[in-house]
Amino acid sequence: MENSDLPPAVTQKASPSNCHVTAEAGCDWPAGPEKPLPSDCCGAGRASSSNCHVTAEAGCDWPVEPEKPLPSDCCGGGCVPCVMDIYAEEMRLWQEEYRSLREGKRTAQESRDPHTAGPVLSSDKYTAFRLENIQKLTFDTTSGTYVYRFHIPGDRRLGLAVGQHIILRGSVASRSVTRQYTPISSLDARGHFDVLIKVYQTGVMSRYVRTWQVGDMVEWRGPFGTFTYRANQYRHLVMVAAGTGITPMLQVARRVLGNEEDETLVRLLYACRRYQDILLKDVLDNLAAFWNFSVSYYLSQEDQKNFKPKYGDEIHHGRVDQAVLSAELPPPGSGVLVLICGTRSFNSDMEESLKALGFSQTDIFRF
């Protein structure tokens, strides 16, 4: 029996995942609720969450419809969660919020109090955290990289395991957008967590992040990620990262180096355009003080004559390619795991090169 309080699309079931198939994309997309009419407003003047917009006609808040990813947004690499999975989940949450408003209930965001609602994070509900601080790391004409610190009430931990990430949700032009980020703060940090974000002059999520000011409430959910690690599981961990792909590598490296019983050798190959683009260089310098960690920087656009690296830095001019991997990596089957994180094209190139060198899929993990 159809529920008259919901638009038809919400109650329609096309598949077990509540998806229908778009012939153009060849992929499953969740069926979306219809936009509410001004007459649907109850007139109660409920407080809006950070992911709501105000309908001027009705003067009431309604959840913002999630933005549908393009078919090209999926890399096909089997990411967990995939952008398509995230969209399906966002649609489910949107439908729940819509139902709550129609029934006169509080939304999922309004009902969660981080002081009393159990775990700090939830994988199926968003929790708003207050932005405490913004630190600029790099800036040029096209982008800037910043570290954003968020407050965790009650001096509690965020609750992530090593290698896990969280999902940010924002509203841009009356559409809901999401992106995945790996916190760079220690997993044991209390009372706060830090996220490194590269903000572009163009880009949907960047438009939202650029509006942030200290004191704003920002919505996150999680944790997500399938990476698992135990001490001395591998003899070698080789990390191949580009740009902001350094963030999950920091988590893993800290876990290894923070355990005196773990004798795993950690080698980081970090690809950047220029020396000044190396992110969190001071953190990497501190890690390099450990006997079982080393890092090599590969700079693709640096002026070789007019830059001054820090004494002791291992600098290479050029890109990380198959020849570099062949020279750097132990042979396959020698207890090595290769971790990859960068742009979509970087990840694909690295994985292809590794397989050409004889590494199997079980020897590779792509964040």
Which residues sit opposite 148 in a β-bridge? Answer: 134, 195
CB 187 within 8 Å of CB 255 = yes
Q: Which of 305, 361, 354, 349 is nearest to 325 (CA)?
A: 354
Q: Which residues are annotated as a binding site?
A: 179, 181, 196, 198, 205-206, 247
Cα–Cα dist 312/21, whole Å: 55
Beta carbons within 8 Å of 333's beta carbon, 6+ residues apart: none
Looking at residue 359, what DSSP letter applies? -
The amino acid occupying position 282 is D
CA 125 to the chain's CA centroid: 16
Which residues sit opposite 237 in a β-bridge? Answer: 266, 337
**For residue 223, is the peptide bond before it cis, meaning its omega torsion is within 30 degrees of 0?**
yes
C-alpha to C-alpha distances, 126 to 54, 155, 158, 203, nearest whole angstrom? 19, 19, 13, 23
Q: Which residues are annotated as a binding site for FAD?
A: 179, 181, 196, 198, 205-206, 247
Residues in the chain: 367
The amino acid occupying position 352 is E
296: which 2 tokens?
């090599």
Q: Which of 357, 359, 235, 239 is nearest to 297 (CA)?
A: 239
Beta carbons within 8 Å of 355's beta carbon, 6+ residues apart: 361, 364
CB 74 within 8 Å of CB 25 = no
SS3 call for 356: helix
DSSP 166-235: EEEEEEETTEEEEEEE-B-S-TT-BSEEEEEEEEESS-HHHHHHTT--TT-EEEEEEEE------TTS-S
